[in-house]
Chain A
Amino acid sequence: MRLSSFQGLLLTLAAIGGVFLLVGMPPIQAGFIVLGLALLALPAWFSAPVVRVVGGALLAAVLYLFLRLPLPPALAIVLAAAVGFAAWCYVPPRILRRVCVLVPSMVLLVYVTSLLMYSAPGSPFAQEKAASDQVIAAKRAAWGVPESPTEFFKIYMTRVLEDFDFGPSLTVQGRSVMDLLGPAFPVSMSLGLTALVLACAIGLTLGIRAGLRPNSFADYSSMGLAVIGISLPNFVIGALLLMVFALSLGWLPVAGWGTYSHLLLPALTLALPYAAYIARLSRAGTIEVMQQDFIRTARAKGLSEREIVFKHALKGAILPVVSFLGPAAAGIMTGSFVVETLFGIPGMGHWFVKGAINRDYSVVLGTAIIYFSIVIAFNLLVDMAYAWLDPRVREDL
């Protein structure tokens, strides 16, 4: 018997739900996850007109959530509806299809993260001195963190949807998640973007140079550097850079945040491992492209080696790097606990670690949502870059 792909989907979902129930997950939770997965998969079967309607509507709904706080409700509705309508008219279905997937996956992300947090031992209110049950219950009620993860999810989502409020931090007294992550986000972004640019510049230069002359001195030296970059942990690289440039030479400040000179060393530390991966990928890409027939054609036309490399080979050579950049960018932008601690930078990496260690549920969810958004944004950018570089993938994007 052959299954249609839709039947296959149903069967898979049923199997996933079955496994969840078997390992003892409460039926409500298993049901919710399966429902979320179904919603994620469903847009694949939507026809183009359906995608446009659903995508436009979802876009308008999300926009309304953002707009309604600063604007009067009527205006927010009108504006959101206008944008939704414009999207329905003009935005290509392949992008609206992403919107259809994005909204349910964001909700599912929050739910699954809640489940995982709750299944970790301990709670945000566990203290060395055991508090009485009444105190704990009162605290849970006050912070909106009931015993059941599903209840918590309901409270959290209501709060986000109604007030665009990501909740109070459970362990940092008197601060909300917005207070904590709000100032840290631009710090991590600027550090991350600098590191990303550095990583690409260093990695591509070394990698392409190596790939043009495989097994030469340039190749071995670049790849040697890359292996060092990949295998040295960043606290070692960071400490070395600090010793040389901050302590011995005294060119750059040891730690702190605020000027461009503060940016350089941590960005370099953050960039080097990524630069090493990029170098290896672009080396492989360059070697591969330079063996292609069309490079021989370019030579037979009488083009100079420069024109051959930059005009004919480069696009193909950096394709593997581009697909690596999506996940890499998300990792690099969200900051690194080690680098931030080493250089005394008030970034987000701190909260990724502290939130998890302290079981600060609302901070964990806040960081998860930011991470997810960056991954989504960069994957979209990567796909667009891919289509720009390789005309053959344009149609089926």
Chain B
Amino acid sequence: MSAPLLDVRDLRTQFVTEEGLVRAVDGVSFPVDEGEIVGLVGESGCGKSVTNLSILGLLPQPQGRIAGGSIRFEDRELVGLSERELRKIRGNAIAMIFQDPMTSLNPYLRVEEQLAEVGQLHLGLSRPQAVARAVDLLDRVGIPDAVERIKSYPHEFSGGMRQRAMIAMALLCDPELLIADEPTTALDVTIQAQILELLKELRDERGMAIILVTHDLGVVAGMCDRVMVMYAGRIVEEASTVDLYATPTHPYTKALLESVPRLDERGHARLRSIEGLPPRLDRGPFDACTFAPRCGLVRDACLAGEPALQAFAEGRRRRCVLAPEEVV
């Protein structure tokens, strides 16, 4: 088997704040293969977005830094790469789209300007060539009358159209990897489905890999080949989507799945939520399972030390002292 497209190993990202050192990502490892859609799931503040910002070297400065680990992308080490070299990769081989298309596009510039500059920067296109390419892509992502609409300002677009424009912008240089950070969270449900469908089509068409960050397990089910569940800056469970839904083996994954509202449930059962809050990451390192205070199955072994992330079946890893059967 060839090397994966992206290989994150033992990534540790930290923030220096006034309250102390925040270990936002603490020892995260995962590969992403070509053409694969990988889901990154978890509550707010569990380190999903920080993981992705680390990959592109976009951590807020001067507080954020990568304290350890390695990120290999196509046989290049991204950790420690100069800003200049990273800029050549950003928007080019690795592109990113963000949660809120309302605020992620520059309100002061025409869509044309914002799209064309990517082509001019990375592909060395002339302005008219870059605009032509941008029009093609807007057309591809389903913006009607793209030749005219490209001259609009973002506020003249609807939310769904803005996210389509963001996607077109990300695809302009045919990236090998697209990082989609909660791309549908700010959109209406019907628009969400359209955008996700579009992303899937584009993956099939272009063979790019996608890292899909979301807290919505419904989105994951329809989209991803493989899912990683994150908690408190760690991966707590990893499995193929099918396996994860059929047999969640970490109490946190199980609790997450139980807190998804279901249409087929009879009666008026109360929607379950996970009691309590994730641990404060400035209190680490931890000497017990980070999920123990909220876990329904907690026992003495959980508090004795932090469990390691262990492979226990083909393509499956989990971070729990209990046997898989005890959880399911």
Q: Which residues of A contact B (CB under 8 A)?
A: 292-294, 296-304, 307, 311-312, 315-316, 389-392
Q: Within 8 Å of chain A (Cβ to Cβ): is B92?
A: yes
Distance (Å) between the CB of A285 and the closest chain B CB?
12
Q: Which residue of A lies closest to B58 (CB)?
A: A299
Q: A293-B100, A391-B155 are in contact. Are A302 and B107 (CB under 8 A)?
A: no
Q: Once the chains are docked, how many angstroms separate the CA of A299 from the CA of B86?
A: 10
For the complex of A and B, 7 pairs with smallest distance between CB atoms: A302-B90, A301-B91, A302-B91, A293-B103, A294-B106, A315-B108, A391-B153
Contacts of A316 in B (CB 8 A): 107-108
Contacts of A296 in B (CB 8 A): 58, 98, 104
Contacts of A294 in B (CB 8 A): 103-107
Q: Is the CB of B105 within 8 A of A297?
A: yes
Q: Is the CB of A297 within 8 A of B87?
A: no
A–B Cβ pairs within 8 angstroms, 13 of them: A294-B103, A296-B58, A296-B98, A296-B104, A298-B106, A299-B90, A302-B92, A303-B117, A303-B121, A312-B106, A312-B109, A316-B107, A391-B155
Interface string of B89-129 (1 = CB under 8 A from A): 11110011010100111111100000001100110000000
Q: Is the CB of B88 within 8 A of A302?
A: yes
Interface string of B73-87 (1 = CB under 8 A from A): 000000000000011
Q: Once the chains are docked, how many angstroms separate the CA of A57 from the CA of B96?
A: 57
Q: Once the chains are docked, how many angstroms separate the CA of A296 from the CA of B95?
A: 12
Q: Once the chains are docked, how many angstroms separate the CA of A390 from the CA of B106?
A: 11
Q: Which residue of A lies closest to B89 (CB)?
A: A302
Contacts of A297 in B (CB 8 A): 98, 104-106, 166
Contacts of A304 in B (CB 8 A): 87
Contacts of A303 in B (CB 8 A): 87, 91, 117, 121
Q: A312-B106, A315-B108 are in contact. Are A302 and B98 (CB under 8 A)?
A: no
Q: Which residue of A lies closest to B90 (CB)?
A: A302
Contacts of A315 in B (CB 8 A): 108
Q: Within 8 Å of chain A (Cβ to Cβ): is B169?
A: yes
- Which of A297, A302, A316 has the largest count of B CB atoms less than 10 A from its CB? A302
Distance (Å) between the CB of B48 and the closest chain A CB?
15
Q: Is the CB of A293 within 8 A of B108?
A: no
Complex partner residue of B108 from A300, A301, A390, CB under 8 angstroms: A390
Contacts of A300 in B (CB 8 A): 56, 58, 90-91, 95-96, 98
Contacts of A389 in B (CB 8 A): 108
Instruction: Beyond the given A300-B58, A302-B86, please list 5 additional residue pairs across the A-B interface where CB-CB is below 8 A.
Output: A294-B105, A298-B106, A312-B106, A391-B108, A391-B153
Q: Once the chains are docked, how many angstroms separate the CA of A290 from the CA of B92?
A: 23
Contacts of B153 in A (CB 8 A): 391-392
